[in-house]
Amino acid sequence: MCRHLAYLGPPVPLARLLVEPPRGLYEQSWQPRRQRHGTVNVDGFGVGWYPPEPTIALPSPGAPGGTPAGPHGAPAARAGRPGDGAGDPGFPLPARYRRALPVWADPNLADLARTIASGAVLAAVRSATEGTTPDESAAAPFRDGRWLFSHNGAVPDWTRLPTGLGPAELLALEAHSDSALLWAMVAGRLRRGEPPGGALAAVIREVAAARPSARLNFLLTDGRTIAASAWGDTLWYRLRPGAVVVASEPDDAVGESLGEWREVPDRSLLLATTDGVRVIALRPERKDTP
Ligand code: GLN
C-alpha cells in the first residue's frame, strides 16, 4: 500500500523533505522498508503544500501606505488564527501537484521540489488498490478547503460500505476509490465542525465495525496541525524543536539507526503540532458508544 508523509515547521524546499533523504518518500516509491502490504508504490504520487501565512500586522485600510482594500473595503488579507476556517480570507489554502506516474518518472518534480519551499506539506506515493481509478484524481492528497488528506490502506468490498453519505456526496467523489470515499466521510465530519482527530477516530470506528479487516492509516492536516492514524500499517514520527514529521516510515539512512524517529503503535491516533505530539490508543467499536 501507499507511503505518506506530513511536515510542519520552518519553510524548507520540498526536495529536502521528499527527495533528498536517502530513505525518504522518493525512494520509498520503489524500495519501502517497512510497508506491510504491497511491494512498490508506482501508481502515482502527490504533494500538497501551503503558502506562507501572512504574519505582519496590516495597517488599517486607508492608512498612509496601507494595504490595498479588498472587496467592500475589507483588508485584502489578514493573518489567520488557529481554528479559522477556509472562509477566512487570510487562511492560506494549499496547492497540489499530483500525477499518475511513478514519482521518479516525472520530469517536472525535480525542478518544482528544488524551488518550492513550504512550512506545511502532505505528500504520498501510491500503490493503487484493484478496481480503483488509475489516474491522478485518485492520487493523494485529497483536498477540501484548507484540509489535505491521504489514506494508506484498503477497504474490502468498499463499493458496498455503509457510509451515511447522500447521493449528492457520492456523486461528487473525486475518484472511484476507497480512499476518496473515506475522505468524503471524514470531510463531511470536518465541515460539521468536528475536530480532526475526532473525525478520523469516528470514521475508523464506523468503517472497522462494518469491515474488520480494513486498513485505515490516515493523514490529515490544515497546515497547522496534523492528525494521523495507525490502523493496519506502519506509522512513525520525528519531533525536533519547532518541526515535526509524521510518516509511514523513517527516512534516515545512517546505519539503519532510527535516530529520533518514534514508532506509533497500531490502532492509535496521533495529534501533532510543531510544539508536540500526542498518541492516543483507539478502542474498538463499543456498542454502547453514543
Ligand atoms: N486504496 C487506496 C488506493 O487505491 C490506497 C492504496 C494504498 O494505500 N496503497 O489508492
3-state secondary structure of 186: helix
Q: For the domain 3-53+87-281, what is the CATH code?
A: 3.60.20.10
Ligand 1 atom with least separation from CA of 43: 10
ipTM associated with this complex: 0.95
Residues 6 or more apart in contact with residue 10 via CB below 8 angstroms: 119, 242, 243
Digitized pLDDT (tens) for each residue of the chain, 290 residues in all: 589 999 999 999 999 999 999 888 888 777 777 777 777 777 899 999 999 877 666 666 654 544 443 333 333 333 334 444 445 556 789 999 999 999 889 999 999 999 999 999 999 999 998 899 999 999 999 999 999 999 999 999 999 999 999 999 999 999 999 999 999 999 999 999 999 999 999 999 999 999 999 999 999 999 999 999 999 999 999 999 999 999 999 987 555 567 899 999 999 999 999 999 999 999 765 554 44
181 lines ligand 1 (CB under 6 A): no
Catalytic residue among 2, 8, 190, 244: 2
Q: Is 211 annotated in the active site?
A: no
Residues 6 or more apart in contact with residue 161 via CB below 8 angstroms: 155, 178, 181, 207, 210, 211
Report pLDDT for 49. 98
Report pLDDT for 76. 37
Task: Give CA–CA dist 125/100, Å, rounded.
Answer: 10
Q: Kindly report whether the peptide bond that precedes residue 141 is cis, defined as omega within 30 degrees of 0.
A: yes
Report pLDDT for 84. 42
Ligand 1 atom with least separation from CA of 127: 9
Residue with cell 491516533: 269
Q: Considering only CA atoms, which of 233, 225, 219, 224 is closest in space to residue 267?
A: 233
234 lines ligand 1 (CB under 6 A): no
Report the nearest-CA residue for atom 9 of ligand 1: 1
Residue with cell 492528525: 227
129 lines ligand 1 (CB under 6 A): yes
Task: Give CA–CA dist 152/124, Å, rounded.
Answer: 9
Report pLDDT for 29. 77
Query: Are the CB atoms for 205 and 198 separated by under 8 Å?
Result: no
Pocket test for ligand 1, best of 98, 127, 150 (most atoms within 8 A of CB): 127
3-state secondary structure of 144: strand
Ligand 1 atom with least separation from CA of 132: 4
248 lines ligand 1 (CB under 6 A): no
35 lines ligand 1 (CB under 6 A): no
Q: Considering only CA atoms, which of 226, 238, 151 is closest in space to residue 195?
A: 226
Residues 6 or more apart in contact with residue 290 via CB below 8 angstroms: none
